[in-house]
């Protein structure tokens, strides 16, 4: 009987810790301070061999010049242009809102061309 109580307590504790979102999820949702969120997202990007030498400051400056409207031209947060979603099985799918894709969207009222 005591073993069951210990087992149930252990399962309850594990389930509670599994429900807490990881820092990357918080960063992608914009729930962290801008600098902290960008740091977490940058570390995630740099963990991939393709983006190992990624320079976030240079990237932001370059990327802002590619877009034709706010919030992209003034973005300082990674998740403005980059999205990462998890599917049902926990696999992460990354996506970038490219300048050509943004240019096809209607402008919000009150915005003019730049």
Q: Report CA torsion sign: 34, 35, 36, 38.
A: positive
39-96: pLDDT as tens digits = 998 998 888 888 888 888 899 889 889 888 888 888 888 888 888 888 888 887 888 8
Whether residue 10 is predicted with pLDDT greater than 90 in this model: the reply is no
Structure confidence by residue, pLDDT tens digits, 21-39? 588 888 888 899 999 999 9
Question: How far from the centroid of its chain's Cα atoms is residue 16's Cα?
Answer: 23
CA dist 62 and 91 (Å) reads: 29
Rounded to whole angstroms, how far apart are CA atoms 26 and 40? 9
Q: What is the pTM of this model?
A: 0.63
Q: Which residue has the higher pLDDT, 94 or 110?
A: 94
- The whole-angstrom separation of Cα 10 and Cα 73 is 49
């Amino acid at each position: 009987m005591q073993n069951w109580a210990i087992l149930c307590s252990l399962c309850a504790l594990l389930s509670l810790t599994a429900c807490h979102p990881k820092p990357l999820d918080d960063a992608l949702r914009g729930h962290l301070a801008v600098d902290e969120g960008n740091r977490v997202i940058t570390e995630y990007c740099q963990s991939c061999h393709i983006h190992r030498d990624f320079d976030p400051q240079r990237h932001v400056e370059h990327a802002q010049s590619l877009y034709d409207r706010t919030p992209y031209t003034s973005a300082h947060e990674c998740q403005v242009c980059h999205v990462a979603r998890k599917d049902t099985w926990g696999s992460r799918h990354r996506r970038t809102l490219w300048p050509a894709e943004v240019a096809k969207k209607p402008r919000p009222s009150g915005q003019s061309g730049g």
